[in-house]
Structure 1
Amino acid sequence: MTSSLCRRKFLQTAAAAAAAAVSAGGAQAQDKPSFDETFDIIVVGSGIAGTMAALSAAEQGAKVLMIEKMSRLGGTSRISGLNFACVGSPAQKAKGIQDSPEQLASDMYKVSGSMGDYEKALEMAKNTARAEAFMTARGVKWDGRLLKLGGHSQPRVLISEGDGAGLLNALWKYMEGLKNVTVRVHCKADEVLFDDKKAVVGLKVRENYYFDTPESDDLTNRTGVEKKIRANQGVIFATGGYARDKAFRSAEVPFLAGVATTTNPGATSGALKILVKAGAQPMHLSLFRFAYPLPTEDMIWGVMIDPATSRRFLNEGLTRNALAQSVLLRRMTNGDKKPFIIYDEKALGKFHNLNRVQRSLNGLNGIDGTMYKYDSLKDLCAAYGADPKVVADELEKYNKLIAAGKDSDFDKQMERSGRKVQTLDLSGPLYAMVINPRLNYTPGGIRTDLRGRAIALADGKPIEGLYVVGEASGGLHGQERMTACSMPECCVFAMLAAENAAQRKRQ
């Protein structure tokens, strides 16, 4: 899709494709399609959603093929923290935390701006403890913390040892012992194949495919050898989002064109377009979710400064998307100068994830993710091109407001997760880093039901044998995804989709 293609044209094209798919019996209806290989279930994608789908399907007795278009497994999950919101975990029980699936679903719906799917959130919440038990039994280890993060009404967030890479490595090690799972990298899905009864029967792929660049790969890359692989029971797409696809995302939301992202380079819109061609309904494509090298919840402990004016300009306790919009709009009017945030040592000690603080101090947090230590405010201001006198005046004013217990300038909350906002010690040392929002999650995707089945645009019914899970699906989170809720979505609906597919009669 080119950057000039507007949303209306995309949906018109999608509707036409869906109608053609239904009238023809599927995107590529065939009376007697011939196949090069046969499996029971094909899983497209190898992040946490794809891995959980493959494992779940295999343990239901299915012969599984998991394919990955990139050169290594894991996608964006491999470089993510994968914080896991879980109701009824052993950690909650040990601490006597009174929580319920309804509470988690309600928390998610509030954060969603009333655009999320409460019933789907509730289904997810009801199955989080089962997903946790599944992963733990297969080698995943948790670091012992039980966190109450932004938007959550109870402490319920678990952190895996080794973050996303550690969690996936544990599951892949377990997967190596399963004889009914085949894994292939450099294998790209190209087309969903249907029979004359409008049911999915397989997938057209390219093996020995080599990814090129996010900007042009889906349109110009023709590497690989084409094969048709039969799926007796279903195809599960766990292909992630499209944050790397600048043309696609800016056609939906123009100001996203130049926003940075640290997602997997393969996070393009190609899989979404394949699914739309197959007749599936896309939704929420104009929504977005920003991330930062530091947890959004911990911005509240610092003071953010516009280097163009040397003044504070927002409430540091805003939600991630509201904060990002304020920063990006400010850059549109200040010559694209990146705001920076100031902390003292006491403030850093309030962070809920000290590991991420240390990674930033060590220069390991990616684009604009490094935090620097300064002996004085003068040195700090020199590094960021700000006027030290004006910044000092702003910080002194800030301290007086905090000491008085009310931020009358920007109405910042005085407490978060049981910890109070405190004044900054201006005598030093001080810490600072630029704030450059990253588009690291796309809430839009394919509409699905409570079992992960793709819904047809033409008639609103499930497409037989086609499943979409994780970030590739849309509709659950709405206007803003609550922190630590992407991983449970991936895990739970991957399990449910795999179980549903494995129960289908082999074709």
Structure 2
Amino acid sequence: MSDKQPISLRRRQLITGGAALAVTGLGASLAKPVSAACVPAEEVKFDEVVDIIVVGSGFAGMSAALQAREAGASVMVVDKMPVFGGNSTINGGAMAVAGSPLQQQNGIKDSVDTMVADMLEAGRGMNDVEMLKLVCNGTAESCQWLTDYGVKWKPFVQHFGGHSIPRVLQTVESSGAGIIRPLVKAAKKRGIDMRTQTKLESFIEDDQGRVTGIEVKANYFFPKERSGVTRRYGARKGIIMATGGFGRDIEYRKMQQPKLTKELDSTNHPGANADALKQMMLIGANPIHLDQIQLGPWASPDEKGFGTASQFNTIATYPRGIVVDARTGKRFFNELADRKARADAIMTRRDAQGQPVYPIGFTNAEGASKAQTLDWGLKYNVIKKADTLEELAKIYGIPADALKAQVESWNKAVDTGEDSEFGRPMQKAMKLEQGPWYAVRMWPKVHYCMGGVKVNTRSEVLHLVTYKPIAGLFAAGEATGGIHGASRLGACAVAEGVVTGRNAGQMCAASKSIVLKHV
């Protein structure tokens, strides 16, 4: 660090640099950290060289890879896990789309501005508005792009919590695999080099600070850190980081939110950790909103991970049923509020010792008619069936008279079209008049990281100190931060991943190529 700099500036750089683990520097005045995160390019002969390397193979990664390939770039996709897709494969496959043909066919009036407003409200105004507009503007065209690659959608529009109107499309599989599989198939057909079990170890930069490649462990067997062999791959145009969030990195998420301990389960796959995020931070990437970690309010404590309850609650309980406190039989929140509001409300249900008192979400056969995981939930005893409300109350220890009174009160609210207690939107509300009844215990799980590295609308990763792009480094999807603010609306992960992934692929492909040395 130069002694000629003002003390206030030097102090600020040290503080912010420490928060990011390390800082690469502002010109020659800030020293690079002594770390394996950076291998000088002048000392490197790459084992292989392509135009673009995409790290991660979820919605953002596959969209980036295909968009870059469409632009004529040679592309390599690397993923540390043994299968492609990461969290995207086990995602619910729901995509929020503003102005879809299916909305128009059903007389649903929507606009980009309305979707932006909904996401701003859910994000408590913390959103990066320019990136938010980029995502919302791209949803309709990107949905069609996915359809052209073979993604198939259900023939109806859904209304997810926090959205002011129905705008959610979902794959026929009710899974993100319905998106990942067609994209991976298309990538292989188009000659994209697809590699699993390839773990990012560090970035390689030239003497100007441009990212020119990555050092990896090939033939890596997660989570065996000593496995694999070192290889160096060069990228003439750039690296696109699409490495997702860190929901399963218990120690790192506790640093951001101490209450998110190992006692709280996660919907994420085992490899969803902060390793790649840390590597970006080590070369100066600006991290934002890392403490904004979303809990999925539709999960059940009676199964691990996403399980069967998540889809059941998303399709059936929340839009076509109600949720009650097991001790009182009464509703206690708006079932169509945004995820943060619902998760926060559920987490307040505790006994005198602070232990969870799991709320009960339920609907009837009509409400559950489109829930594809119903049979599996029943098979594994996560979802329970009751012929009468009295039987339902007995199963979960709910006061029967109070439960029946709540159902009666709910039905009256549907008749009047107004939820005077909690302000739930009632356009698609359904009366609960006849069994059989289907119910599930509910408790949130760590689901999504709103925070990540800061990018601009060209998907370039911005430097912590200079706020300028780190040359050769792009990012998309959950690896980035700021778009969702304090809370992501349901079905906006697919929207964000696909739109920002395509944007990163296009921008990186348009970048100037550099000459790199082969082995």
Shorter-chain TM-score range: 0.7 to 0.9
- The answer to whether the aligner puts 1:343 opposite 2:363 as a matched pair is yes
How far is the alpha carbon of 1:394 from its aligned partner? 5.1
The residue aligned with 2:140 is 129
The residue aligned with 1:18 is 23
Cα 1:72/1:204, change in 2 over 3 Å: same
Cα 1:483/1:297, change in 2 over 3 Å: farther
Task: Decide which of 235, 238, 241 is 2:242's aligned counterpart.
Answer: 238
Tell me which amino acid in the other structure corresponds to 2:153.
Answer: W
Aligned partners of 1:253 and 1:421: how far apart in 2?
Answer: 37
Tell me which amino acid in the other structure corresponds to 1:242.
Answer: F
Contact preservation (8 Å) 1:343, 1:431: yes
Task: Decide which of 188, 195, 205 is 1:176's aligned counterpart.
Answer: 188
Aligned partners of 2:222 and 2:282: how far apart in 1?
Answer: 22
Aligned pairs for 1:2-151 (under 5 A) are 13-15=18-20, 17-20=22-25, 23=30, 27-92=38-103, 94=105, 98-151=109-162
Tell me which amino acid in the other structure corresponds to 1:432.
Answer: A
Contact preservation (8 Å) 2:319, 2:428: no
1:167-210 Cα shifts (integer Å, max 9, x gaps): 2211222222222x111111101111110011000001101111
Aligned pairs for 1:71-470 (under 5 A) are 71-92=82-103, 94=105, 98-162=109-173, 163-179=175-191, 181-212=192-223, 221-257=225-261, 258-291=263-296, 292=298, 293=310, 294-295=313-314, 298-299=317-318, 301-308=320-327, 311-331=330-350, 333=352, 335-348=355-368, 354=370, 357-363=371-377, 370-389=382-401, 391-392=403-404, 395=407, 411-413=421-423, 415-416=425-426, 418-422=427-431, 424-425=432-433, 428-470=435-477
How far is the alpha carbon of 1:365 from its aligned partner? 11
- Which deviates further from its counterpart, 300-309 or 159-168? 300-309
> SS at the partner of 1:382?
helix
Cα 1:36/1:149, change in 2 over 3 Å: same
Tell me which amino acid in the other structure corresponds to 1:272.
Answer: L
> SS at the partner of 2:377?
coil
Tell me which amino acid in the other structure corresponds to 2:491.
Answer: A
Tell me which amino acid in the other structure corresponds to 2:492.
Answer: C
Contact preservation (8 Å) 1:46, 1:238: yes
Cα 1:11/1:341, change in 2 over 3 Å: farther
Cα 1:99/1:433, change in 2 over 3 Å: closer
Cα 1:503/1:247, change in 2 over 3 Å: same
| TM-align CA RMSD | 2.9
How far is the alpha carbon of 1:70 from its aligned partner? 0.6
How far is the alpha carbon of 1:313 from its aligned partner? 3.9
Tell me which amino acid in the other structure corresponds to 1:170.
Answer: P
TM-score between the two structures when normalised by the length of structure 2: 0.84
Aligned partners of 2:317 and 2:376: how far apart in 1?
Answer: 18
> SS at the partner of 2:240?
strand
> SS at the partner of 1:176?
helix
Tell me which amino acid in the other structure corresponds to 1:306.
Answer: D
Aligned partners of 1:378 and 1:434: how far apart in 2?
Answer: 17
Cα 1:235/1:364, change in 2 over 3 Å: farther
The residue aligned with 1:6 is none
How far is the alpha carbon of 1:44 from its aligned partner? 0.5
How far is the alpha carbon of 1:266 from its aligned partner? 1.0
The residue aligned with 2:509 is 502
- Which deviates further from its counterpart, 245-254 or 357-366? 357-366
Contact preservation (8 Å) 1:124, 1:492: yes
Contact preservation (8 Å) 2:56, 2:241: yes
Unmatched tracts of structure 1, length 5 or more: 1-8
Tell me which amino acid in the other structure corresponds to 1:330.
Answer: R
How far is the alpha carbon of 1:401 from its aligned partner? 6.5
Aligned partners of 1:296 and 1:141: how far apart in 2?
Answer: 18
The residue aligned with 2:8 is none
> SS at the partner of 2:251?
helix
Unmatched tracts of structure 2, length 5 or more: 1-13, 299-309, 515-519
Aligned partners of 1:31 and 1:364: how far apart in 2?
Answer: 61
Tell me which amino acid in the other structure corresponds to 2:269.
Answer: N
Tell me which amino acid in the other structure corresponds to 1:433.
Answer: V
Aligned partners of 1:141 and 1:392: how far apart in 2?
Answer: 40
1:254-294 Cα shifts (integer Å, max 9, x gaps): 22223222222111111111111121011111112232212
TM-score between the two structures when normalised by the length of structure 1: 0.85
Percent identity between the two aligned chains: 34
> SS at the partner of 2:348?
helix
> SS at the partner of 1:127?
helix
Cα 1:140/1:421, change in 2 over 3 Å: closer
